[in-house]
Structure 1
Amino acid sequence: MANSDNVVRAGLTPKFKDVDRLLEMLDYNSAVSSPADSLQFCATQSTPTPEGVSMKSFIPPVSEFAVDMIQFDDESRGFSLPQVPTASILLVLQGQGVISCTIAGGTASQELKFGPGFVYFVSADMIVNLISKADRRGSLLAFRAYVNRR
């Protein structure tokens, strides 16, 4: 485990352990789950997009996170991701192009290149503009993770 000062430890470390604090923080209430509940982790929302672009949102029944999957086909060139009210992380798995962010009603930020393995932190309420460049590496595949406040 990496060294960090924002971790509550209970064992297996030479650092300070605070078992009482950890037990106080955790929720040990059991919950009943049905097979139908697991279906909620399938794509639960599809955002209208231009032809050749697909954006599916995975919004589980928990407040900790939600994930958007963004895909461009080989012909697609650009798309603006909808704003989310929390900070988010954008991970590019496939494709290359240019990314910029815009505050609602504001001007676009500096354009940055992206490619497979690039990861971006995006502030809350930013509009993310993705422009894909077709190449032999394939079309764009990216994921955006954020706090589930929808």
Structure 2
Amino acid sequence: MPITDRDLCREAIRRTLRRRAGDLPDSLAIAQATSEIWHLMSAQVTPVIGDNGLDAILKRALLLTSVVFPWLASLDGQLDNDSFPARMTELMAGRESVVAAQAGSSLLITFTELLATLIGNSLTRRLLDPVWEVDFVVTEQEKTS
């Protein structure tokens, strides 16, 4: 099965979160890493879609992600880019580290995919590639295996 850009993006997000959280991270380290990544993402995206656009995609990403992680639904409709990192850290810090990592990566992936739906894959990659600590470069053999 060929590897798609979507698969590469998802893996890049997961790897970036793992690297930022450190070796054997607890849920607080994962929460802090998620917040750091969010700050980087929002700084890249806000000049293109504005604060309101960023907040709208974030709220939608939270809604979709809360289907799998219902505890995320407690982040109410008053949430915005400024309050998100602290509120997310509070929620994630009390979870098992595996659950926190899954929720964090799922939320970041969902946000990225919603953004790509709005502005296109190419622009999304140009904006967010600097955030990811992993190259999207794959060999032809990896694409076809």
Larger radius of gyration: 1
Q: What TM-score comes out, normalization by structure 1 length?
A: 0.30
The higher relative CO (CA closer than 8 Å, separation ≥ 6) is in 2
Q: What TM-score comes out, normalization by structure 2 length?
A: 0.30
Which structure dedicates a bigger proportion of its chain to strand?
1
